[in-house]
Structure formats: C-alpha cells, structure tokens
Amino acid sequence: MPDVGESGDRFPIPAGVHRTEEVIRRSRFITTLGHTPEPELARDFIGRVGAEFPDATHNCWAFVAGPPGSTAHVGMSDDGEPQGTAGRPMLTTLLHSDLGEIAAVVTRYYGGVKLGKGGLGRAYASGVQRALDTLPTVEKVLRVECRLNLDYPSVDGVFRLLDRVEATRLEERFGARVRLRVAVPLDRIAELERGLADETGGAGEITRVGPTPGPES
C-alpha cells in the first residue's frame, strides 16, 4: 500500500470495486468496497450494491468521501441492525485504514443464529477489514495546473525538471517564447518553482492556474 503523504496531497484509493465474503454462524456476510470521491458518488455506489442484493436481510454501509481519516464527508447506516452494531464499526475501520475516497457495503443474509450486539459489531468490522486486506489500490496525487513561459535555451533543462517533479505536460506552444501548461503534484510545486528559476537564470515565469484532477499512479 502506498504511503500517505504528511500533507494529504497523496494517498491510496481503491483501484476499483472489490468484494469478499465470509460466513459467521450461518449468516452470510458479503463486503463490497468501491472508490467514491464524493458523498453523492458514495450514495450511488451504495444504491447499486443494494439493488444487486435486494433480498438481503441487511445492506449496511459506511463511507469516507475524502482523504484518509478525514471526517468532513462521511456517512454510515445500520440498515435495520441494532443501533451502532454495523455502520459505526464499519466507519471506524475505514477511518483507520489509511485509505481515502472509499465506501463499504456489508450485505448480510441472516442464517438463523443471533450474534448479539458485540458479535455483530465484530462481524461487520471484520468484513470490512478482510476486504481491505486484499483490496488493490492506486495512489491519488493532488495536482495544480501551472503555466510556464521560458526562452528556448532553457527548454531541455526545464523538460528534465518537469520529469523530476512528476509533472504532466498538458500543452506545449512554441512562438517567440516557449509556453507550457502542466499539471504538477501539489507537494512538488515549490520544487518546480525553485528549479525553474535555476534552469532559466530567473528569466522563466510560472503562474498557478488552479487545481486539476490529474492522473493517478
């Protein structure tokens, strides 16, 4: 699993939908995880999973629609289980997972044996943790779009600089000067600014345009 950047500019997210299953005292628990960067997308994901298992006894869920550990955009539901026995332990497990932008749905088919409140809490938390343990992830990199303006003699050095700071070239225009539009990881922007000044002898110009979704790697 990739490391989480101290500033939250880089963090792991689910690579796609992932599902695991286990049987606990004759009850079938199916855990489905997905990438959900916004609360609306989390609720859409939860709805799709629920529609996939309409005959289930419960479809309990939790989501963290933000960086790892952030509680700004979270949600949870016990979906008919005793209060606090499903959604809360699921959410706690997600918040301690070091993953961001993730939703979990645990589908339960009741098998006739009651687990008790403590047993339910452990079962729902365990279902999420088991799925997390085998979840494929990718790293999300928060990026800033910048525009660079430089002279031709500096082009090769600046292109090497862009590679070093993991910048993505979005547009290149060659006129009286070279104009570039790039997407730079947020945690490398200061390095790019310093490097541009060094490579161009202070003649290069850089303007921050704004955030961009950027690719994940």
Domains 10-139 and 142-212 share a fold: no
pLDDT tens-digit series, residues 165-195:
999 999 999 999 999 999 999 889 999 999 9
User: What does the buried/exposed string (b/e) look like for 74-110 if buried means 16 or more CB atoms within 10 Å of the residue's CB?
Assistant: bbbbbbebeeebbbbbbbbbbbebbbbbbbbbbbbee
The pair of three-digit structure tokens given for residue 70, joined into one six-digit string: 């952030």
For 29, what's the count of Cα atoms within 13 Å in the CB-facing half-sphere?
26
Domain 10-139 architecture:
2-Layer Sandwich (3.30)
pLDDT tens-digit series, residues 105-141:
999 999 999 999 999 999 999 999 999 999 999 999 8
Backbone angles phi, psi at 69, to 5 degrees: 80, -5
Domain boundaries, the chain: 10-139, 142-212
Backbone angles phi, psi at 156, to 5 degrees: -60, -45
* pTM beyond 0.85, yes or no: no
Longest Cα–Cα distance of the chain, Å, equals 77
Just give the CATH number of 142-212: 3.30.70.240
pLDDT tens-digit series, residues 1-54:
333 334 468 899 999 999 999 999 999 999 999 999 999 999 999 999 999 999
Q: Distance between CA atoms of 87 and 61, rounded to whole angstroms? A: 6
